[in-house]
């Protein structure tokens, strides 16, 4: 594939002007391959111009985990062993490759995925379809993903994640409402310090006034104090 012919085809396909200016200043494929954006541009060319595999560009694309995944997903539409060592080193794209390309567990990448709370949770929820002990240590340290793991994967209380969840007002409220289904005394000190989540906890979990949190809720400078008066205090007074 001749370099300047490829640029002409890219121009016809609507490549951005800034990229074309950079490409037109290059001397050929060797200089192209050294550019930091080369994997992105090569993947775009395969998807938007060629509409098929471009073997000459695959060594370039295979260097970058995101564009290697996208090439496998959008062009090859199946596993791409050549790029798997690169993809397996990045938690997000390793998860995406397992979920969207392999469509099942990918043991080669699990040590990487297991270290990142968000992608470990998603891997358990969407790929393993159940508890994944290998990723639980990382998930348990992050309040949002610990809550989601308890709610979506375990579907019940998860003591290992409660320490982190209880420190975060939003996710502590969500855990009390969605998982416990009632008051959670261990988390109330944190929830009571945030007007919005304290109001939600009073209304949806306690089902009535929460005197301990009222100094924070009623001094809020947004609509939270008004909602608390109307929907919590007003309801109990009627």
Say how far apart CA 7 and CA 3 lie, in whole Å. 7
Q: What is the mean pLDDT of residues 87-103?
A: 98
Say how far apart CA 7 and CA 26 lie, in whole Å. 11
Q: How confident is the model at residue 235 (pLDDT cuts 50, 70, 90)?
A: low
Does 238 have pLDDT greater than 50?
A: no
Whether the CB-CB separation of 141 and 165 falls below 8 Å is answered with no
What's the number of CA atoms in the CB half-sphere (13 Å) around residue 153? 26
pLDDT digits (tens, 9 = 90+) for 54-91: 999 999 999 999 999 999 999 999 999 999 999 999 99
User: Could you tell me where the beta strands, DSSP code E, fall in 22-178?
Assistant: none
The pTM assigned to this predicted structure is: 0.92
Confidence at residue 234, expressed as pLDDT on a 0 to 100 scale: 87
Say how far apart CA 67 and CA 64 lie, in whole Å. 6
The mean pLDDT value of the chain amounts to 96
For residue 99, CA distances in Å to 106, 116, 123, 165 come to 9, 16, 8, 27
pLDDT digits (tens, 9 = 90+) for 3-35: 999 999 999 999 999 999 999 999 999 999 999
pLDDT digits (tens, 9 = 90+) for 106-135: 999 999 999 999 999 999 999 999 999 999
Confidence at residue 237, expressed as pLDDT on a 0 to 100 scale: 43
Does 51 have pLDDT greater than 50?
A: yes
């Amino acid at each position: 594939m001749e370099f300047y012919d490829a640029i002409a085809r890219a121009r016809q396909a609507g490549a951005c002007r800034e990229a074309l200016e950079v490409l037109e200043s290059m001397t050929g494929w060797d200089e192209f391959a050294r550019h930091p954006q080369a994997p992105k541009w090569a993947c775009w060319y395969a998807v938007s111009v060629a509409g098929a595999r471009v073997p000459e560009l695959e060594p370039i694309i295979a260097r970058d985990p995101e564009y290697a995944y996208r090439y496998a997903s959008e062009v090859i539409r199946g596993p791409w062993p050549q790029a798997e060592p690169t993809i397996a080193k990045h938690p997000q794209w390793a998860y995406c490759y397992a979920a969207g390309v392999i469509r099942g567990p990918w043991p080669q990448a699990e040590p990487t995925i297991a270290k990142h709370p968000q992608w470990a949770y998603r891997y358990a929820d969407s790929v393993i379809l159940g508890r994944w002990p290998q990723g639980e240590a990382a998930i348990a340290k992050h309040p949002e993903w610990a809550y989601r793991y308890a709610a979506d994967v375990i579907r019940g209380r998860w003591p290992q994640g409660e320490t982190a969840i209880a420190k975060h007002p939003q996710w502590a409220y969500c855990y009390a409402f969605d998982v416990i289904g009632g008051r959670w005394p261990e988390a109330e000190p944190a929830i009571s310090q945030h007007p919005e989540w304290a109001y939600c906890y009073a209304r949806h979990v306690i089902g009535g006034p929460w005197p301990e949190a009222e100094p924070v809720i009623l001094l809020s400078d947004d609509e939270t104090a008004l909602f608390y008066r109307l929907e919590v205090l007003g309801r109990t007074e009627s």
